[in-house]
Amino acid sequence: MAGIYLHIPFCKHKCTYCDFTSFAGRSEYAEAYMACLIKEIEMWGEKLKEKTFDTVYFGGGTPSFIDPNYIYGAMNQVTKCFHLAKDPEVTIEMNPGTVSEKKIETYLRAGIDRFSIGLQTAIDEQLQEIGRIHNVRDYLYCTSLLKGRNFSADVMLGLKGQTKEDIRKTIELVAASGAKHVSMYALTPEDGTPIYTDYLNGELPDGDEVREMYDFGVTLLKKYGYLRYEVSNFAKPGFESRHNLNYWKRGEYIGMGVSASSFLSGHRFTNTFDLDEYMKCILSGFFPVLTDEEVKGEEAKFEFVMLALRTTRGISSKEYKDAFGSDWKEDFAEAYRKTKQYFIEEGDMTRIKDEYLYVQNQILADYIR
């Protein structure tokens, strides 16, 4: 089964590290944009009516920033136009500074059953430094509205002045609030973002410091019952993100909305990044696809290996052979010889040793052709 991704590009304020397609100060476009998104859902629903989808994910931007009735309408359209599995996982990303009781009620009526909360850090000064519009009190209010429900919290590493004590406070807050899932990832300073200046000036923790933070966080998360199942993702047993797991299994997904990417029938294609162009295309009855490439041969094999080795499950030789008719260790014989010291072999499965998982990108560099 495949996944559905819906991109909501509006936000109240753009964070200093954000490199995603998002627009602050353009909320007056939200109604027209969501009408176009609903039309795109109808267009793709007609083309994909024979396919079953297991997950739906509202990402952004900040989906919780706009009127919740827009989210309700989009989800209603998805339900009407696509064939969903019996018990789909439906996720919405939320900024704690944009949440209200009414919004949560509307999301629940829409069928949303999983909530991804952008906490980032439990230190208010650090939140202000990176341009977040919320504080810790907002996070606590948000989680009080979701008590007993399935929600995830984001934790960011590598912030200016961040210490292990800050990470401890953040993870303890997340655990105490009842989160079922944690996404803990390192800040990536992208050229063109405001925080990139801090990076150039050497004001952010270096790679070794961030790795120490990560190892410290992994140990603490395990103490609170969060088991790592992918480099940046940890969950209480049974609460792994089905939508994200589909990506790492190289499953199919359809992305709708400005800048959304898709992977269907061996093709990866991406919508235009221009908001006005996106709406013009939809209103003219055209799919707003900007790029389309077929992923095959060596590239497809590398993707399979790379994505599987991001997870703690690792790569299955049988699944690789079923997909490509060959043995991955033979296809990547030289790279495997150079890197096998970092692997654990368990029957059909090969996975990266726990202590090397954080640096898997360096290990997998040998597999790029």
Q: What pLDDT shows up at residue 188?
A: 87
Q: Which of 89, 97, 90 is closest to 117 using CA atoms?
A: 97
Residue length of the chain: 369
Distance CA 94, CA 107 (A): 11
Distance CA 177, CA 153 (A): 10
Strand order in the sheet with 315-316: 315-316, 349-352, 343-346
φ, ψ (nearest 5 deg) of residue 42: -65, -45
Distance CA 56, CA 89 (A): 6
Distance CA 167, CA 312 (A): 23
Please give the structure tokens belonging to residue 293.
Answer: 């490439």
Q: What pLDDT shows up at residue 63?
A: 97
Q: What pLDDT shows up at residue 198?
A: 86
Residue that is written with structure tokens 């509202």 in the block: 58
Concatenate the DSSP letters of all residues of 256-267 into one string.
Answer: ESTT-EEEETTE
Mean pLDDT, consecutive 10-residue stretches, the chain (369 aa), reads 96 89 91 98 96 97 97 98 97 97 98 98 96 96 97 97 97 98 93 86 90 97 97 97 96 98 97 97 97 96 95 96 96 96 96 94 90
Distance CA 100, CA 106 (A): 10
Distance CA 66, CA 164 (A): 35
Concatenate the DSSP letters of all residues of 76-105 into one string.
Answer: HHHHHHSEEEEEEEEEEEE-GGG--HHHHH
Identify the three-state secondary structure at position 348. Answer: coil
Half-sphere exposure of 116 (CA within 13 A, CB side): 27
Q: What sign does the CA torsion over 337, 341, 342, 347 have?
A: positive
Half-sphere exposure of 58 (CA within 13 A, CB side): 32
Q: What pLDDT shows up at residue 200?
A: 86
Q: What pLDDT shows up at residue 83?
A: 97
Q: Beta-carbon neighbour count of residue 126 at 10 Å?
A: 18
Q: What pLDDT shows up at residue 203?
A: 86
The domains of the chain, with CATH numbers, are: 2-247 (3.20.20.70), 297-367 (1.10.10)
DSSP lists the bridge partners of residue 10 as 23
Q: Which of 233, 237, 302, 289 is closest to 40 using CA atoms?
A: 289
Q: What pLDDT shows up at residue 71?
A: 98
Instruction: List Cβ neighbours of 189 (8 Å cut-off, separation of 6 or more).
Output: 17, 195, 196, 198, 199, 204
